Amino acid sequence: MTDPTLELARQIMACPSVTPDDAGCMDILGGRLAAIGFTLEWLDRNGTRNLWARRGTTAPLFVFAGHTDVVPTGPLEKWTSPPFAPEIRDGKLYGRGAADMKTGVAAAVTAVEAFVAAHPDHPGSLAFLLTSDEEGDANDGTVAVTEVLQARGEHLDYCIIGEPTSVNRLGDMIKNGRRGSLSGVLEVKGIQCHIAYPEKGRNPIHQAAPAIAELAATEWDQGNEYFPPTTWQISNIHGGTGATNVVPGQLEIKFNFRFSTASTPEGLQQRLCAILDQHGLEYGIKWTLGARPFLTGRGPLADAAVEAIRAVCGIETELSTTGGTSDGRFIAPICGQLLEIGPSNATSHKIDECIAVDAPAQLSAIYRRILEKILLA
């Protein structure tokens, strides 16, 4: 008999839901949830499909969150099998979305189906927050739903996001937080002139070089128990007209902080500007706060996840905050405890994306065990 989670994963992987097109995934998922007593609320915005589905009205509220959109396939001729025709071979499930993150969504649905079948009158409430705008601009997806929930005064007690978090095998790593992202575009002003007469101008590249060296060598913080130290990196730098005989009049530098809860965006801005001021630069900066850091420390949800992974997979998991940002940054402000738990991330966004064929069933079992620990304890 085919595993129900594997079958559901294959069903929604067959939908060509390249961001922000849901391509029918949520109709399939919503139908499954409605059949077990969930009330469906569609909160679409600007062409993005968003679903808030809830079962129950009492606390605590346990939410599964995720996205149905996937990144583009890349060259189809490079795939061993078609990306939207999921295929099992050599003990793996192949297809776009296998890792990121249709398996996580499918596992959450089947875990809840099994939980509700066994405990139809369970305490608390269950909900799903699904979007088709995570792999794109992320302006009209999870952020839109959380805005609605926040305006209503709704608070999430527990949330699991099924993003791919494992490294070598299912369950070896889960995310209990993510670093913040603060970007800036720095324009250092100089005076353009003929390169043979540098005394008539001011070279912003020469002026900025000592400041750049100091910024690159600065220890912004030491991190903490859960986070590595904050990093500062330049991603792009441009100065000059393209001519070889002109001192440039300005220099543009694009940079990014990946920061922990040991720092604040305001503090990092102030410290960076203080260094630039010390070097006497004439400058302007346009700042963009992409995400604030969030963290769920040891507690009921993390403890339940560790126990569930130990029971299902027979291994000890690692709590980690490494990697980029996720939609958890939008959910964390209205959620008490949040974790990301999912399959291996090794092939996410790659040609021939795949996961172990037994991962969907195991992930569903982990989710169900966490539900039982949290809601039935």
Detail the residues annotated as belonging to a binding site: 67, 100, 135, 163, 349
Categorise residue 167: left if φ over 0, alpha if ψ from -120 to 50, beta otherwise. alpha
Say if residues 206 and 301 touch (Cβ distance below 8 Å): no
List the binding residues for Zn(2+): 67, 100, 135, 163, 349
Catalytic site residue from 22, 134, 157, 353: 134
Identify whether 69 is a catalytic site residue: yes
C-alpha torsion sign, points 362, 368, 373, 377: negative
SS (H, E, C) 135-177: CCCCCCCHHHHHHHHHHHCCCEEEEEECCCCECCCCCCEEECE
DSSP run (H or E) holding 64: strand 61-67
Catalytic site residue from 69, 113, 133, 353: 69
Identify whether 7 is a catalytic site residue: no
Q: Which two tokens stand for residue 358?
A: 């037994």
CA 152/CA 146 separation, integer angstroms: 10
Residue with tokens 């575009």: 185
CA 135/CA 133 separation, integer angstroms: 6
Q: Which residues pair with 93 in a beta bridge?
A: 88, 355
Residues forming the active site: 69, 134
